[in-house]
Structure 1
Amino acid sequence: MPDLARLQLDAVSVSFPTPNGVFQALAPVDLTVPAGRFISLIGPSGCGKSTLFNVIAGLQAPTSGQVRVDGDDVTGMIGLVGYMLQKDLLLSWRTVLDNIVLGMEIRGVPVAEARERALPYLRKYGLAGFEHVYPSALSGGMRQRAALLRTLLTDTDIILLDEPFGALDAQTKSRMQDWLLQIWADFQKTVVFVTHDVEEAVYLSDDIYVMATRPGRIVERLDVPLARPRSRALVSDPRFIEIKEHCLSLLSHDTSDAPLAVA
């Protein structure tokens, strides 16, 4: 495995002033993601998953705590991680190829070189023949492929994926999950994935972090000891079912008054 980045959060918390006092959106979170690992965050709406992503990406300053990459304090620094939202945010006036190379352009790669580097990936990952069409001609799944390739080609070792398949139909979502596992194995990035779909989290992840709200925090980390590469047959595996049911049990309980767990 190449020398990839290790992500670490040290007691990261976020609070906001309100007319009624201070609102704690995120209690102190400790989280370590080993290099090349695929982890998922699951939890109810309002538990701080997106806030946590914004802190990792440097888009929001934490009230306390630090974000570290390979031991270096990178709190508040932008451009060190790739970040993909549920909406693909493809630019309508740029072709598929020119959307995919956008991240490389921003990082200073000449356009011609960026296109040359990107083209083999379009051909390998199901976008051959769509290089010069515009996003309006693509299906939802194809748009997400393009957006994910753009994120992966930004030359960052850490990738944040915030519900990238949440708006897709079930059949397309399943295909995209398998495609993501293939491309992750090829690129060997460190991935932090947010989803509301427990089965998706179990199928994709090495580890799952379950979050609770009031305030947002991690209440449990679950290891997913399922061999890779994975197939759809896993969903009937007793270990898969056990992990899924345990996650659902955690999410179904009001854990707002539970003690904080160190992840």
Structure 2
Amino acid sequence: MDYIRLENISKSYDNIGIIDDINFSFKKGKIVSFLGKSGVGKTTLFNILAGFEKADTGKIFLQGEDITNKKKNISYMTQKHLLLPYLNVLDNVCLSFKIKGINKKLAYEKAIPILEKFGLSQHINKYPNELSGGMKQRVSFIRAYLKESDLMLFDEPFSALDSITKESIYEWFKQMIKYENKTTVFITHDINEAIYLSDKIYILSKKPANIVLSLDINNNVENFRTSNEFLLYYKEITDCLKKYLEEN
């Protein structure tokens, strides 16, 4: 069974189509990315997935259950880390527990092993202004992870990081997501990033956006970043984008 499935999702504002007849599905534990020009409706699609906005038409199914326009147990991380400056790392990552009414002792018992697992144990008493950009992003990822959600949505999670920091965080990110078989969808404008991190890539057309390419990625290849397979994926994506740009 598909973990999540969208059928014929469309949305418009003031009679202007934003997304039109979006259909996709994927299995549990996959990392899925969406590529497309700025302003084509990727964030609108995410807001519909998260339940922040209602689709005009279509259905959303989670593990076979119709969850269309219903509140969902979903983690949604934006480009900015949004850490609270007056809380240290440990208390920032425990926010979702606090919202659920879990007492501090139990929240710490849940959070500390995860922080240790992903190399953050030495930073739990630091405040956001004491952390580097990459470290803030790691803490924000852990906070989203600890929400124990059905689905994790990341809106350009690496865009604020420099290229060197990005490289250092990619493997850490993949390890974190795979640790408990998390299902993850993210928006990116970086083709290399999408290929390296994703199990599946969708490319969106101009508005009203539709899916113009669906690409399964096999990244279990030795030295994947410099492999012929990587280059072929890159060419297929850039050819698709070039065709799209020439038509617009």
Equivalent residue in structure 2 for 1:186, among 145, 156, 179: 179
Map 1:192-207 → 2, pairs under 5 A: 192-207=185-200
Using the size of structure 1 for normalisation, the TM-score is: 0.89
The runs of 5 or more residues in structure 1 that have no matched partner are 259-263
Question: Number of paired residues?
Answer: 248
- Output one character per residue of 1:62-94: Cα deviation in whole Å (capped at 9) or x when no partner: 111122111112122334111111100001111
Unaligned runs of 5+ residues in structure 2 are: none
Q: Which residue of 2 aligns with 1:143?
A: 136
Paired residues of 1:8 and 1:68 also in contact (CA < 8 A): yes
Partner deviation per Cα, 1:31-68 (whole Å, 9 max, x = no partner): 10211111111111112111111000000111111221
Which structure carries more helix by proportion?
A: 2
Aligned to 2:83: 90
Q: 2:109 aligns with which of 95, 99, 116?
A: 116
| Paired residues of 1:215 and 1:256 also in contact (CA < 8 A) | no
* Structure 1 segments of 4+ aligned residues over 3 angstroms from their partners: 255-258
Q: 2:242 aligns with which of 227, 252, 262?
A: 252
Could you tell me whether the CA contact under 8 Å between 1:57 and 1:76 is conserved in 2?
no
Partners of 2:87 and 2:115 lie apart in 1 by 15
Kindly state the Cα deviation for residue 235 of structure 1 after the two structures are TM-superposed. Answer: 1.6
CA contact (8 A) 1:5 1:36 kept: no
User: Percent of aligned pairs with the same residue?
Assistant: 35
2:35 corresponds, among 34, 42, 67, to 42
SS at match of 1:9: strand
Structure 1 counterpart of 2:42, one-letter code: K
How well do the aligned residues superpose, as a CA RMSD in angstroms? Answer: 1.9
User: Paired residue for 2:230, among 240, 243, 253?
Assistant: 240
Distance, in Å, in 1 between the alignment partners of 2:123 and 2:235 is: 41
**Matched residue type, 1:54:** N
Match of 1:261 in 2: none
Question: C-alpha separation between the residues in 2 aligned to 1:234 and 1:191?
Answer: 21
